Amino acid sequence: MSPLSRGSSSISSAAVTLVPSNSSVKSQWDLAIERKINKLKRADTRRLQKLLECDDQPQALKHMIDEYTKKGFAAHIHRFEPLFFKLRDFSAAVTTMVQSQGLASLIWGSIQFILLSTLRYIDVFDKIIAMLNDLIETLPRFEIYLNLYPTPELQRAIWLVYDDYVGFCLDTAAWISSKPIYNLVRMLWSSVKDNFDKAMRSLRQHKVAFIQEAGLAEAMEAKRRHNELKTSLDALTFKATRQSPVTLLPYPRNSHFCGREGILQEIERTLSASKYNSDLNSVALHGIGGIGKTQIALEYTYKYRSSYSAIIWVRAETEATLVESFAHISRRLNLAPEDAPPRSKVELARVWFESNVDWLLLFDNADSPNILGPYWPTALNGSIILTAQNPDFSSWVTLDIHVPPLSLDEGSDLVLKQLKRSDNERESAKSLSEELGGLPLAISHFTGYAARSSASVREILSTMQNSQLVSGPWETRESLAVGHYEKTLRNVWDLALSDISEGGHQLLNILAFLNPDAVPEVIFLGENDFLGLGGDSEARVSALRAVVYGLREHHLIERDFSDDISVLRIHRVLQSSILRRLNEAGKLQETFEKAFEAVRQIFPKITFLRRNNDLWPIVELYLPQVLSLQGRVELWKSVLRPSIDFADLLCDASTFLYMQSYYRDAMPMLYAAENTCRQLLSPDDPSPVLAQILESIGCWEECFGLEPRKKAVRYLREVVDLRERYHRLVKPDKMTVTDHVTLARSWADLAQSLLSLDQVSEATTLFDRAFRHYSSIGTEETLPYRFAHEYNNLAWCRVCQGDFEEALLFAEKSHKLATGELGVGSPWTLIFRFGYACILLISGDLDRALVAHTELLKDRIEYIKDSNPDTLLSYYFVAVVHYYRGELEAAEKNLREALRLSDRASWPEVEARRAAFLLVVLLCKQGRYEAAREVEETRKLRVDGTSSVGLSEVELDREMEKYDFEVSIWHGRSEGRCKPHLQK
């Protein structure tokens, strides 16, 4: 080992980069390191010398664990432990290529040096860990190169990387250890940040140089050839036992696919790099509808399927289709039982991507980065292909490809292949392809129409050119525009549609309103015979298949199987064209009503008498059809006139979505339903449909803050008025149990919002009225869920009245009734247990509260997973109990975990802000002001740029009460009236 001597330390001084010559590499490295260490002060040199005695990963890690435990910071060990494992290949590469264990020991010494320096200022620990993690993640993947011959050029390249890493660690540690504490308190952090940014820029450049020097392209190609040879031999020798990759694809391979070799090769080059670096490589295919994006992605999966352990296809148009696709993954991979809540299935699918390798995930027809974000894997062990009509995802992916029309050769190949003609007609096929703008969808549909003709390609081309819709010569391929594209397709479809049956027309017209990716055939076999199929059920099935066969012959639709259910698929561009045709013919409204009736007769209706997840599998199957109908109504709002029944369908669908915590699709549905009712109903009509819609809006707005809660009260007062007027109009003997329950619910729901606004007196009156009404129509045995809900309401009411003893009795009764009716894992049982645990806390029984909240958190993670907003509430309240018990480390851990999960779980912003501010309070009370400011900034808590850091404890508590009051009382409170009543 080189001698260590005294020097000076300055983080702003430029690090000396010495590149060893081709000869005496090891001695040159020793000299360079000696000069670097000479910059340290004597005390730092002695510290580093001792650390170098731990010259491998197990020794170094054990030493750090011992030091952090001894200093009382054992809770931080899990943060730095992964870094040591990530550095193992770096250490091995240096040892192998330079033949020096001593040089490798400085890798372990330098990371210990910087981590031990932060023990003086644990406030900066998180920042240092983040910097080290970024730095280490940027290192090349050295495990690929351990067997390479260590040429002088390769040794020079690895030196530059080594110098960047060691230099940052030593310089930063020396700077931190040399500064008085007030410098860090005053946030004089810019020097460290500048040094980090400089090291990262340098490391990225040197990483590229190293990879180039290592001959990565040759290594990849050699490994690919080796794998292909090995695969071939395995297939010959062990054909009977060889396993295929897990494949979840919705469509079979397209036997007519032609061309696109350049794009396929670009995709393969980009995604195959995932096996040789630490990045999640991804490709986006974007272009106009019908240009062939999905078919390119599909062809890639079949062509390169042997390169992946799993290939999984996800429909990504809306949040609902994403949820359905991820739940489908969970079912197919046997990750969750059939009756598991959808969020559990989604979360288990996410975990699967995190814990498996070499998978390929395809997001088809992605529409919005905001919707897709929570479903994008964070693991770096797979590859992604995404298709979209817009280029909004270009910044998300490694490679963004704009898909152009087919070349003349590619287009003619497709024409000849689909028409099953010889190469003798190549030139005419090129002309036909050019006439169709090189658009795969246009070529496919037109040749589908012409396939049964015995005419030559030239005669088919003449038919195309002489079509009455052709008003002039086509534009050049280079100037292809959307208008021309649509005109081309319309011409094609006019010819294709002229040759199908009346039943085929009817089916296409209805399909134009439904989900383009998968419409279950059973929708068309309900009581209402929308297609005029006639006969009994067996005859109708046969007739429907004949209609479908005719449309498939013309390439207008496809028929696939999903979860053993036959589904129909139609292109979005054809849907748009059909809708325009229907509008021009004055048949848009008539066809919409048929499509709506087809969906309404099969989509479940919500019931509030009891709660369970039994209906969710059916909802999940048909929900995409409801979303499509809503989208068509919005698109054609100047023409279509939706009915009250349609508003009722939207209300049912949104309620099912909301019950699973999927707000993004639920809330727009509800407001669309309200708008429909307002337009169609007179002010004096006490419509039960409108009442239910307004009630749902009011209950859900309750969750989103103080101002939405005030809006909720206005909505819920109108609901009470509507229900009471309806009740007066209906004769007593005609009132159903459901009518009585909805009336009592309207009083209870208004009372809930009033109680959240601290209007206890009026809320109490309404709760008592609701309870008396339930008692007049049923008992705990006949209406267990409704009584469980009402006991929970009364429990919180008693909390606000200061009667904790009765509150606990009601709360315990509530969750026991729910457990008996719904089971221990039901989301509603868990909600009532949450109320009981919160009331234990408010009553001051911290021991039982900690047990109750901790057990509830465990059960929520098990039954509804940590991506559910309710689970994050449990993390928060476990933290609150720890906070009041003075267990600040445990409180911080749970708060940070809740905030980490908040984006993925769609946690309402007011609840995330409350958790973040409690973390600020906790940090300030420990004197960790820098960390508190960072939370404020990250979570945007500062109002008008004013920081809460520096406020007195009394002022912080007052601010905390404001954040707490923003959240609905039904999501738990621990301030104001609900502040724990602790024994003095």
Position 596 pLDDT exceeds 90: yes
Structure tokens at 473: 């010569």
> What percent of the chain has a predicted confidence (pLDDT) above 70?
80
Position 185 pLDDT exceeds 60: no
Q: Which pLDDT score, from 0 to 100, does residue 16 have?
A: 32
Of 341-350, 449-458, 519-528, least confident by mean pLDDT is 449-458
User: Could you read off the pLDDT of 940-951 as tens digits, one per residue?
Assistant: 887 677 888 989
Residue 490 has φ and ψ, to the nearest 5°, of -65, -40
**Full DSSP string of 477-502:** GGG--HHHHHHHHHHHHHHHHTTS-H
Q: Which pairing describes strands 565-570 and 557-562: parallel, antiparallel, or unpaired?
A: antiparallel
Is residue 272 within a helix (H) or strand (E), and if so which, with residue range?
Answer: helix 261-272
Q: N- to C-terminal Cα distance for the chain?
A: 62
Of 420-424, 561-565, 589-593, 598-602, least confident by mean pLDDT is 561-565
Quickly count: other Cβ atoms within 10 Å of residue 661's Cβ: 20
Q: Which pLDDT score, from 0 to 100, does residue 725 have?
A: 96
If you average pLDDT over residues 460-464, what whole number do you get?
A: 73
User: Could you read off the pLDDT of 222-236 as tens digits, one per residue?
Assistant: 444 445 544 444 444
Position 341 pLDDT exceeds 70: yes
Contact 852, 833 (CB under 8 A): yes
Distance CA 721, CA 180 (A): 68
Of 267-271, 330-334, 462-466, 544-548, least confident by mean pLDDT is 462-466
If you average pLDDT over residues 191-196, what whole number do you get?
A: 70
Position 148 pLDDT exceeds 60: no
Per-residue pLDDT band at 45 (split at 50, 70, 90): confident
If you average pLDDT over residues 376-396, what whole number do you get?
A: 86
Quickly count: other Cβ atoms within 10 Å of residue 358's Cβ: 14
Position 724 pLDDT exceeds 90: yes
Most confident of 344-358, 429-443, 626-640: 626-640
pTM passes above 0.75: no
Contact 691, 727 (CB under 8 A): no
Residue 507, burial from CB neighbour count under 10 angstroms (0-12, 13-18, 19+):
buried
Position 472 pLDDT exceeds 60: no
User: Could you read off the pLDDT of 804-817 as tens digits, one per residue?
Assistant: 999 999 999 999 99
User: Could you read off the pLDDT of 427-448 as tens digits, one per residue?
Assistant: 988 988 887 778 888 888 777 7
Q: Which pLDDT score, from 0 to 100, does residue 475 have?
A: 32
Distance CA 868, CA 831 (A): 12
Position 646 pLDDT exceeds 80: yes
If you average pLDDT over residues 821-826, what whole number do you get?
A: 88
Q: Which pLDDT score, from 0 to 100, does residue 942 have?
A: 76
Q: Which pLDDT score, from 0 to 100, does residue 437 have?
A: 79
Distance CA 621, CA 656 (A): 12
The residue type at 68? Y
Higher pLDDT, 824 or 24: 824
Position 518 pLDDT exceeds 70: yes
Distance CA 571, CA 389 (A): 13
Which CB contacts under 8 angstroms, 24+ apart, belong to 581-590? 582/509, 582/512, 583/636, 583/639, 587/509, 588/636, 588/639, 588/640, 589/639, 589/640, 589/641
Higher pLDDT, 666 or 871: 871
Instruction: Using alpha carbons, list the distances in angstroms from residue 746 to 76, 782, 927.
Output: 50, 20, 48
**All residues at 6 or more sequence positions from 277 whose CB lies less than 8 Å from its CB, including other chains:** 140, 141, 211
pLDDT mean across residues, the chain = 81
User: Could you read off the pLDDT of 245-259 as tens digits, one per residue?
Assistant: 778 888 888 888 989
Is residue 557 within a helix (H) or strand (E), and if so which, with residue range?
Answer: strand 557-562
Quickly count: other Cβ atoms within 10 Å of residue 797's Cβ: 23
Structure tokens at 116: 């031990």
Contact 176, 191 (CB under 8 A): no
Structure tokens at 507: 């089916």
Residue 562 has φ and ψ, to the nearest 5°, of -135, 120
Most confident of 152-166, 597-611, 703-717: 703-717
Q: Which pLDDT score, from 0 to 100, does residue 606 have?
A: 82
Beta strands across the sheet bearing 565-570: 519-520, 565-570, 557-562
If you average pLDDT over residues 889-896, what whole number do you get?
A: 95
**Full DSSP string of 292-324:** SHHHHHHHHHHHTGGG-SEEEEEE-SSHHHHHH
If you average pLDDT over residues 465-482, what whole number do you get?
A: 39
User: Could you read off the pLDDT of 157-180 as tens digits, one per residue?
Assistant: 777 777 777 788 877 777 776 654
User: Could you read off the pLDDT of 750-765 as tens digits, one per residue?
Assistant: 999 999 999 999 999 9
User: Could you read off the pLDDT of 283-330 as tens digits, one per residue?
Assistant: 999 987 788 899 999 999 999 998 899 999 999 988 888 888 898 898
Q: Is 559 helix (H, G, I), strand (E, B) or coil?
A: strand
Distance CA 705, CA 692 (A): 22
